[in-house]
Structure formats: structure tokens, C-alpha cells
Structure 1
Amino acid sequence: MTSHPRAAIILAAGQGTRMKSPVPKVLHPVGHRAMLDHAIDAAEALGCERIVVVVGAHSPEVRAHVVDRLGEESIAVQDPPLGTGHAVRAAEAVLGDFVGQVVVTYGDVPLLRAADIEAVFEAHDGVTVIGFEAADPGAYGRLVMEGDTLTAITEAKEASAEVLALKTCNSGVMAAPVGLLFELLAEVTNENAKGEFYLTDVVELARKRGAPTRAVMASEDSVMGVNAQAELATAEALFQKVQRETFLAAGVTMSAPETVHFAWDTRVGAGTVIEPFVVFGPGATVAERARIRSFSHIEGATIATGAEVGPYARLRPGADLGEGVRVGNFVEVKNVRMETGAKANHLSYLGDGSVGVGANIGAGTIFCNYDGFNKVRTEVEAGAFVGSNSALVAPVTIGAGAVIGSGSVITEDVPADAMALGRGRQVNMPGAGAAFRERAKAIKAAKSK
């Protein structure tokens, strides 16, 4: 907790029509996480005691998402939408008797982190906004500064040529003591071309009553908003760039980092090698000195020290690989714990079960874990050897040290150190192959006449 209580208001009521998607804009993912969740993450990392998300009446999906994460008490509704100032005022009643500082952020600014916002809380008696130096200021509102003092936020369409020449622009993020902010917003009018209540008008009103106004700077990338699919792709690229740089700096080896894609919560230990074209979904944790080979997809999985995955492997949620485990090409693992030194090197599906220490799963092995209604488990105990092209029909246990003959369908438990075969007997019929060929040739010749 901070010495001055903090709250956050996250604006997420926009309709996002430029996304041209049935998915609400703020629920589109960056790094496999909804943009809105990135904003909530930042608010939580700032130590905000209260977080209010302003949603629109048009988007029940956004409301449900917030309720699921923060609870109904964190919802404020803006209806109808009448501008950013109006949206912030919608949160006033929800904040109730909160006393402290409040920051206004946005559900479509996914790259803004707590570290970028922290500086707005350094002053406790006025209005602080986050600005940035734009490579192309274009239609951004400009911050007019006198030293450290913010004197005005001027919209581009209303700016003089001198102001348009400025490159210091407004991100829209603003902080102030909660009482001051709502007092100022009560004075904002909608006497403008759009007939909307603008949050930016707060700066001028604060100056009129002698309250301090200032700006702190963040990078242009960190404050970028997403309004269309192309911008979403740009945000994803920037997110991935930061992730890659972070892992490289932490001692992870990537020969082609631009081809590796991470999720927001990926964890990788130092000394791990990630080959080209690897994708991490949410919930992946990789320990030190592992190796992830090319074209593997890892999600909801834990990989221990010294394990090797891929190429072309898929680890799904619940995959848990112990030290030195080998999961090879075209192997899929889901909800299976593989103990130290276990191997499944080729063309197998392991779903719902366990593989014991040093056990070997042969090529083409299938854990038949689904009967059309329920998932059931296959347990392969330590040191067992499962021959190629075997189907283990769950629920079934392969005892420690047992051997399963290739091509078997195993439907009953196999005792420790036993050998099990579950296939039809081979029958050789001398001369039958030659006779078959002669009959087939005759039939083909008759058809061609």
C-alpha cells in the first residue's frame, strides 16, 4: 500500500466500431490477454484500493468480463456516451466515499504499465497528465508547457500553427485527488462542436482555481491506443518486442527471436534455448537449461530443468514435464505428469495420466482417454516400456518395468515387470500373395476391355 490511497477509473465504454469485429474492442487480446485485463493489471500493480471500469450499456460481454474478475461493485455504466469527461463522472457514485488520488486510464491502451503511470502520483494537490513525444503528432491533442507546468491541452483542430508545431502530445491518462477531479468535472460543459464533455477541459478549470497542473512523460509506444485491427497488430508486435528483449536480457538464448511469440505470463529460466518458430500460449513456465525446439506450441504447461520439447510438439494445459524429460516431434501432451527422464519421442498423444521415472513411450502410442462422455486416466509407472503403435485404453495402469508389445491394444492393467500383448495372431499363407495378384490383374484387364 502507498501512503496516499489510490484508485483507478478505466474507461471501456467505447463501441469500437472501427475494429469491425463482433468481439468488443477492449476484449481483443494482446499477448493472449484481453486489452482490458492489461489495464486492470496495471491498476493492481499500482496498489489501487479501488478499481472502477466504466462500461457501455451496449456491451454486456465487457460488463460480464469485469464482474468475473473484479466483481459487480467495480462496474460503472455510461449511458448514453457523451464524451470522456462524462464517462469519468459515471464512476463518481461507484467510488463512494473514497478519499485519495485517482488515475484515469483506458481499456484500449494495452502496453501502459504501472511503471509508466507511477509518476502521476508524485503530486498530491493538482492535476497531472501523461504526455509523450510523438514522431508524427498529427491529430493528437498538444500539451502546452511552461517549464514543468502544463498550461493547456489544445486539440489539433483548434490549435494555432505554433501549437501544431509542438510534438508533446496528450495520452489521455490523468490523475488528481478524487474530490478535486469530480469538482472540476462538474464544471465541464459540452459547448463544443461534438456536444460532448471532455476530460481535457479539467486542466484549464484547475488552472483557473489555482490548482497545480503538470505533465509527466512516457514513451509513445507505451501509450498507444488500439482502435482498429491494424493497430491491434502493431500493439502485438510491440508487446512481443518487449518480451523478447526481456528474455534475452535474462539469459534466454534465441537465435531468431523475431519468430518466437510469448504470452503475457510466460516464464522462462536462464540458460534455456528456444529455437525458431515457437509459440507460447498462456500459463507456460519453463525452468533453466531446457530446450524448446522449433515449431512447438506450449500452453498451460510446466517444463523442468534439462527437459527437451519438440520439434513440432504440442504441450496443452496440465502438461508437467520433469527434469530431463524428452517430448519429441509430433507428440501432444495434455494433463499428464511426466517424471524425471521419461521419454515420448515420436508421434504420440498422451492425455490425462502420468508417465513414471525413466518410462519410454514408443512412437504412435495413444492414451485413449475419452469414452465420448468422460475423461479417464492412463498411468504408466516407472521404467515401463510401451512399444510403438500401442493404444492404452483408459482407465488402465501399466506397472513398473512392464513391457507392452508393439501394436497392442491394452484394456486391462498390466502388472509390474510383466509383458503384455494385445493384438491378433499373425497368419502366413504360402502362395496366397501371388494368387491375389493374378486375380487382381485379371479383374483389371476385364474392366479395361
Structure 2
Amino acid sequence: MARAKRQTTSLEPSDRLIITDLTSEAYWERPPTEAEQPWLASIAELSPEPFVLNAQLEVDHQPTIEPILTRDVEGWRANRYIGEIRHQGRTLEIRPRLGIDVLTSWISTILNVQVLPQTATTSHTAAGVVTQLLAALWRSAVLTAGQHALPRTGLKVSSHGLAVRGRLDAAATARRRAAGHRDVVSTRVARTYNNAPARAVVLADRYLDQRLAGSKWRGDRVEEQLNVLRTATGSRPASPSLQEIKRTRYSPITLKWRRAAELSWRILHDNPLAVTADDDTTHGVLIDVAELWELFVLHCAGLATTQPVRHGTTTHRSGHVAVSTVDETKTIGRLYPDIVVGEDPITAIVDAKYKPLNDRRGVDREDLYQLHAYASTFVAPLAALAYPQVGDSRAAAERNGPWQSQSSLLSFIALPVTVDECVTKLAQTFDLR
């Protein structure tokens, strides 16, 4: 991780650069200063992995790692991540070009939970984009974990008296009798919410609530769950260690609380919403929006057809560009498409691209070659690249499509960012084959 000497103890307006994802430097709210150019270059060298908080979405593949920033002929450009990075006394804030409400609706669709509370007030939308998204991800983890049960665990309790409560502890009873006591010792398992996962969740809730003060950001269901947990742990419980969270015994019903607790622990440990950058460390939080888009399109594809729809990046669906003629076990160029429609035979391949599809940028050459490789390798009659739709205009690649390539149709489609419209357009696309 990059290090720098202490430069400032507060973030003045000049210490914050606000940009939009996948937007070149020429279209930022303000151009970076000469002093910020080497600072941006140092951010481009950082690995985004320590800052990305998408783990609770249960993605079944290793996500693509891209630089936070890249530079081309139009200057600096943010890639697939949004969020904040505090580095060398300055802050880079990357906002979603599609807006915070669109992204939270994607998370709701992916996890089938209401991530943006219906009780939210305008003061919630006034909060920082990173704060809102972090709260939405945390809320989604808690809602998903609490669909069936709260994180209750068993605690072994010993007691002594004239009556047995639970199971008789013969060894302990013998020791008390030898010491002259006439009572018996018994043990029982008491169910409690005062445990490491619950304490982590309660503390993360407190952390976020301090930064979303005045807004009903939790929603009724989360509020109800937190009231139960706070009653058991107290409003300011001792912070658990990550090892305590991992060592906790989870039942199949409460297993998802481990993910919610680990996310809560990371929020508390990394302090991604700190208001100052007054030391020589680099910290922040990033959300991989390309991953959210991929999972949103996957969900919509499942609703758009009655055929089997699989996440192509699982071990069940992969292919190879070429196979050795000498040894058929030797292959070159393994391919993992995002979405596979149909099974024996495959009827369509869809690859989600978060980047914009427009006439100025067009279809990148590497994307075109990738799509052609998918179509030929999986022998799919239809292969499509799916981009988020921005505005009403259609790019030439979509207007003039689908495109014929040997035995497959290649389609470049801009999908609406709302679930119903996205499902409708995908259903129309699948009917092209």
C-alpha cells in the first residue's frame, strides 16, 4: 500500500477531487491541478482489492481486478469502481454516472430485498454517495441474513441447587459433595443474542447511524431486528475480533449472519468513512459497479426466458478457444462468459459490460473479438454484449444489429436500468435467434 508523509489534518475543498465513473478527465466537474497529476498517478498504481466491499453479494467467481484509474488520450478516467480513496492527504471521490438510486435498486433486485427503505427521507439522499452505498450494502447483508432468524447462539450455563436444571454434572456434583455441600450441579444451554456476530452488527449500525443522522435509513425490518439485538448486547458492546466471528457456531439458518458480521467488522476496522486523512496511510471504500451490473443482468435474464439461465463464470460453464490436436487434454484460452442461456444446446451467451455504448466510443475491438470467441466456442446461435442504457438514443452498433457472423448472430444492446424494462428487452433479444 502506498505511503506518504503527513501533509494535512483536515480536508479543504481543494483536497477533494470529485469525478464520475467511466468519464474522461475532460468531462469532470473540474480538471485536476498540476499538483494533483502525480497524486492521481500514485492512485492508479494502488490495487483496489483492499478497498472493495462487494463480498456479501456471494459472487461465485473471482472478480476482475482493474486499476482504479487509467490514462488515455483524453486524460485520466475512472474505471469500474465508485467510492472514496483517501491518499496522501487528499480525497478522490468517484460517483456513479447512473445515480445512487439506480445502484441501490440493482442491489435490491439481486438480493430480492428492499435495500432502499420506503421510509427514507430527503436527508438520506443528502448524505454522501459512498455513505449511502455502504449503508445499502450493509443493509442488504443484514436483511438477507435475517430473512429466517436472528443470530442466536447457545451459551453453556452451570448452576447448583437442590433441583437439576438441564443435565446433571456428575463430576462437579461429586466435588461439591466432597466439600460438604448438599446441592447438585447441573448444566444447560441458554440461547442468547449476545454473541460476536450480533455485537459486530450493532456496532456497525451505530457507526453508520452517526453518519446518516436524521434519516430513517434502516427501514422498518432492520430497525426491528436491531432493537432485539441491542436489547441483548447493549447499545455499546465490546468490539469482537474477526476470529471470534469466525469461531462462532452457526446453524444452516443463521450462517448468513457470518457474512453480515464480517462486513460489519470490516466497516468498523477499516473506518472507510473517516472524515480526515491525517496520517500516512491510504484508506477508503470502493464498490465494484461492473459486478453489480453483471448480477443485475443475470437476474433479469432469468426472468426473461423459461430456459435454464446460469452464471457462466461457474465451473459448470466454461470453454476453450483451442484444443491441442496432439493431446485433447491440452487447451488454450479458457473462456468464462457472464451468462449462459439454455442447456444442451446453449441458445444464447450474454456478456455484461458496464461501460457506455455510444457512437463516440463505439464497440471496443477487444470486446468484439471476445464476443465472437464466445459464439464460436460455445456454438451459440446468439451472442450479445449488454450495456446499461443512458438516454433514449441508440448507438449505431445496436441500430444496425443484430450482426451475422458465420453461424451466429452478434448483438450489442443497451438495456434499461429498471428491472421490468430490462426483462422485456432481454426477452425480445432472445427471440432474435
Q: TM-score normalised to the size of structure 2?
A: 0.24
Give the number of the structure with larger relative contact order, counting CA–CA contacts within 8 Å between residues 6 or more apart.
2
- Which protein is richer in strand relative to its size? 1
If each structure's helix is expressed as a fraction of its own residues, which one has the higher value?
Answer: 2
What TM-score do the two structures reach when normalised by structure 1?
A: 0.23
